[in-house]
Structure 1
Amino acid sequence: MRTRSGARAGWTAALTAVLALGAAGCQPAADEPDAPPSASGNVNKQLGELTVAAAGSMKGYSRSRFPHWRDTGKNCDVRDSVLQRDGESIKLSGCNVVGGRWDSVYDKQVLTDPADVDIDHVVPLANAWRSGADEWDDSKRGDFANDLTRPQLVAVSLRSNRAKGDQDPSQWKPANKSYWCQYAADWVTVKHYWRLTVTSAEKAALTDMLEGCTWASKP
């Protein structure tokens, strides 16, 4: 299990890991990040700043409107970059990830075959479409779908990712309850940065998930 003090918790460590992919021929697809919120940061403040609105229409939606995965090196892409960043004992063929170990934070599954690992968009593409991304151009949607800077991409079990689908936290939460604080914080961080809306039910669920997360309300 990863916690805020674990492998994914340290934003600096995560960025360092992504940048280190260059040694394997995979270059990060994101610019150097803005200063991220600290573990004791402003998640509740960011949640309060989100615009509450009814979910928009799915008219015109297609995953192809969010071009992914972008190249991050010769014959490798953002998926390879996330697999290498989030895994341990990684085995490479060129810069393609062909083996390793992944601890799926959504359901605590331990995975050793990259074919069993999905790269989840924390805020799903279809949810983003209903939350304002329908008004973006495809280039900006591609930036969102390949965002290695915000906590938008995470390697998890295929089973948990398929169960989640395009549902928001009022409809689906990770089976691993100890990850709820991190999941809610990541969801808020992504929606706040990309100026996406939340439904009233979604905001209520995020508020509930953040209760008891002492770091979320500290100044």
Structure 2
Amino acid sequence: MKKLVVAVSTTAVLLLGAGCGEISVVDPTATGTADTSVVAEPGSVADPSAESISQARSTLGKLQIKRIPGKDASYEREKFGDSWSDAAKGVKFAGNGCDTRNDILRRDAKPGTVRTKSGTTGCKVTGGTWVSPYNGATYKSTKKIQIDHIIPLARAWASGAKKWPAARRLSFANDPDNLLAVDGSSNQSKSDKGPSAWRPAQPYQCVYAVRYVKAVSKYALPITSTDKTALTSMLDGC
């Protein structure tokens, strides 16, 4: 089996602050020819760069178009491993030992606002300030924030992840490229829907579309023709 290592580009490193370090992902079971670069950008609601928008448009035109079932009765959340894996279970965040949820909370919070149980160096995020990239509202309580899989796990399963090795599904479920800290209401509304059935508020559709295309390409997943139309429309609004 081909061994694939995902490394963080030195020009696209996210410093998570004291005690957390850089994000990287190692997936020894990955297959296919997907884009494997990890770009964990600070400030998840920031406008994507012109380069990333251009890249998304180019990539979108190369994605496989395929009919994807709306529901797959064989899907179970547990097939993607622990809800939020820690560093010891296959997804490495620079060896900091923190679980994925807390790493994403820290990554997507406004700089300098994160509080943890152990000051600024602990894993457990207890407070901070977040601007949801799905509705633009500001939140200061972790109870209002959920971690969204940009490509929903159920949709990934129906798109082909059901055939992946378990370790690859674990990596996908904990991959920073496919995760955003968002408001709970938007996350519940989005659920397992794809781009043709759900969109964030208009000012944030560009962020969503760029990240969706990046994640789909990275894992060589197909999209539907209606998803392509929707993503094209969102990218045209960037």
Instruction: Determine the C-alpha separation between the residues in 2 that align with 1:51 and 1:107.
Output: 30
More helix per residue: 1
Residue identity (%):
36
Does residue 166 (structure 1) correspond to residue 164 (structure 2)? The answer is: no
Q: 2:13 aligns with which of 2, 12, 15?
A: 15
Per the alignment, do residues 86 and 201 of structure 1 end up closer, same or farther by CA in structure 2, a change over 3 Å counting? Answer: same
- 1:77 is matched with which residue? 99
Instruction: Determine the C-alpha separation between the residues in 1 that align with 2:180 and 2:104.
Output: 7
C-alpha displacement at 1:25, in angstroms? 5.4
**Is contact 1:26-1:74 (8 Å) kept?**
yes
Q: 2:116 aligns with which of 87, 92, 105?
A: 92
After TM superposition, the structure 1 = structure 2 runs for residues 20-39 of structure 1, keeping only pairs within 5 Å, are 20=17, 23-24=18-19, 28=23, 30-31=25-26, 34=37, 38-39=51-52
**Is contact 1:26-1:95 (8 Å) kept?**
no
Does residue 45 (structure 1) correspond to residue 58 (structure 2)? The answer is: yes
- 1:54 is matched with which residue? 67
Paired amino acid for 2:65: V
C-alpha displacement at 1:53, in angstroms? 0.8
Give the unaligned 5+ runs of structure 1. Answer: 1-10, 214-219
Q: 1:202 aligns with which of 227, 233, 236?
A: 227
Give the unaligned 5+ runs of structure 2. Answer: 1-8, 27-35, 40-48, 88-94
C-alpha displacement at 1:40, in angstroms? 5.0
Q: 2:137 aligns with which of 109, 120, 125?
A: 109
Instruction: Determine the C-alpha separation between the residues in 1 that align with 2:179 and 2:57.
Output: 21
Per the alignment, do residues 188 and 74 of structure 1 end up closer, same or farther by CA in structure 2, a change over 3 Å counting? Answer: closer
Paired amino acid for 1:90: V
**Is contact 1:29-1:146 (8 Å) kept?**
no
- 2:162 is matched with which residue? 134
Q: TM-score, normalised on structure 1? A: 0.80
C-alpha displacement at 1:97, in angstroms? 0.1
Q: Secondary structure at the match of 1:185?
A: helix
More strand per residue: 1
**Is contact 2:136-2:204 (8 Å) kept?**
no
C-alpha displacement at 1:26, in angstroms? 7.3
Q: How large is the Cα RMSD of the aligned pairs?
A: 2.6
Instruction: Determine the C-alpha separation between the residues in 2 that align with 1:13 and 1:179.
Output: 25
Per the alignment, do residues 27 and 185 of structure 1 end up closer, same or farther by CA in structure 2, a change over 3 Å counting? Answer: closer
Q: TM-score, normalised on structure 2? A: 0.74
Per the alignment, do residues 12 and 39 of structure 1 end up closer, same or farther by CA in structure 2, a change over 3 Å counting? Answer: farther
Instruction: Determine the C-alpha separation between the residues in 1 that align with 2:159 and 2:203.
Output: 27
- 1:7 is matched with which residue? none
Deviations 1:68-90 (A, max 9, x none): 31114677301000001111311
Per the alignment, do residues 35 and 156 of structure 1 end up closer, same or farther by CA in structure 2, a change over 3 Å counting? Answer: closer
Deviations 1:90-110 (A, max 9, x none): 101132000111111101221
Instruction: Determine the C-alpha separation between the residues in 2 that align with 1:162 and 1:77.
Output: 22
Instruction: Determine the C-alpha separation between the residues in 2 that align with 1:12 and 1:27.
Output: 10
Alignment: residue pair count: 197
